[in-house]
Structure 1
Amino acid sequence: MLEDVLLIQDKHREAAAEIVSEILKSKNKDKYIVAISGESGSGKSELTHVVAKELFNKGFKVKPVHIDNFYNTHPLERQEYRKKHGVENVVGLGEYRWDDINNTVDDFYNNRKSTMPCVDLVTQNIDELTTDFNGVEILVVDGLYAINIKGVDLGVFIELTYHETKKAQANRGKEKTDELRFKVLEKEHQTVLSLKPKADLLINMDYKVVKA
């Protein structure tokens, strides 16, 4: 996402170091996918940035991809759409354009150029980002439901819930906080939690990395 606010702290750097260590131990193929899932404000974007940067510094060709760019509704229309159709009916896995996400992953596997959406958080426009996956060894994907992607080699699940991350959400200011937003956060919480069994590593409430 363009103009995203990253609040990188020591806890993100420490967790990222553990994740990178696990990648180095388990990477045994030319194309490797790391997926980082967690609720709003849990530090997915910060963690992804630090993991990708550390891998780059170690000589890997790496690309971070934020699949929260792949919603099937426009950012400026999403709130109204949720109101109209009911949070309980629309919030969840069905809000993502999974075919486009899977096509992006396929482009990564096949060393192709790929064009994907990129939301500008200032203007709320959906821009397009074109990247060349030729030679890219590691894809670091983050998003609410990132570990639901097929073919993930290392799934990371952040256990913090929206109850613990209210301050981080407010500091980043991505979405307005109101009654509808809290309904959305609760439904997202339920959906994200359902994906926890797919994780290989957990980041616990103390932001420590443990085996799932």
Structure 2
Amino acid sequence: MLEDVLLIQDKHREAASIIVSEILERKDKEKYIVAISGESGSGKSELTHVVAKELFNKGIKVKPVHIDNFYNTHPLERQEFRKKHGVENVVGLGEYLWDDINKTVQKFYNNEKASMPCVDLVTQNIDTLTTDFNGVEVLVVDGLYAINIEGVDLGVFIELTYHETKKAQSNRGKEKTDELRFKVLEQEHQTVLGLKPKADLLINMDYKVVKVK
């Protein structure tokens, strides 16, 4: 996302260092996918940035992709759409353009160029980002439901819920905080929680990395 605000702290750096060590230890093929899932404000973008940067500094060709860009509604229309159709009916996995996400992943596997949406958080426009996956070894994908992508090699799940991340959400100011927003956060919470069994690594409430698989 363009103009996103990253609040990188020591806890992100410490967790990222452990995740990178796990990637280096587990990576056993040319194309490797890491997915980082968690609720709004849990530090997905910060963690993804630091993980990707550390891998790059170690000489690994890496590309971070934020799949929260792949919503099936325009940012300026999403709130009204949710209000009209009911949060409980539309918020969840069905809000993502999974076909487009899977096509992007396939481009990564095939060493091809890919065009994907990129939301400008200032103007709320949906721009198009073109990237070349030729030679990219590690794809680091983050998003609410990123861990649900097919073919993930290392799934990371952040256990912090929206109750603990209210301050981070406010500081980043990505969406208005009102009654509708909290209904959305609760529905997202239930959906994200259902993906937890897919995780190989958990980041607990203290932001410590716990190995599951």
Alignment of 1:74-113 (within 5 A): 74-113=74-113
Q: Name the CA distance, whole Å, in 2 between partners of 1:63 and 1:116.
A: 13
| In 2: Cα distance, 1:20 partner to 1:60 partner | 11
Aligned residues: 212
SS for the counterpart of 2:155 is: strand
Is the counterpart of residue 126 in structure 1 residue 126 in structure 2? yes
Whole-angstrom distance in 2 between the partners of 1:37 and 1:181: 19
Q: 2:23 — aligned with what?
A: 23
Task: Quote the offset at 1:169 in angstroms.
Answer: 0.1
SS of the residue aligned with 1:135? coil
Cα displacement (A) at 1:63: 0.1
TM-score for both structures, normalised by structure 1:
1.00
Offset from partner CA, 1:114-160 (integer Å, 9 cap, x none) = 00000000000000000000000000000000000000000000000
* Equivalence for 2:14: 14
**What's the counterpart of residue 163 of structure 1?**
163
Within-5 A mapping of 1:128-147: 128-147=128-147
Deviations 1:185-212 (A, max 9, x none): 0000000000000000000000000012
**1:34 alignment counterpart:** 34
CA distance in 2, matches of 1:211, 1:195: 16
- Between the aligned partners of 2:32 and 2:114, the Cα distance in structure 1 is 17
Distance, in Å, in 2 between the alignment partners of 1:139 and 1:94 is: 23
SS at match of 1:130: strand
CA deviations over 1:18-39 (Å, ceiling 9, x no partner): 0000001000000000000000
Match of 1:189 in 2: 189
- Give the Cα separation in 1 of the matches to 2:211 and 2:11: 17
Q: State the superposition RMSD in angstroms.
A: 0.2
Stretches of structure 2 that go unaligned for 5 or more consecutive residues are none
TM (normalized to structure 2)? Answer: 0.99
The 5 Å alignment of 1:200-211 reads 200-211=200-211
Quick one: distance in 2 between partners of 1:186 and 1:16?
A: 27
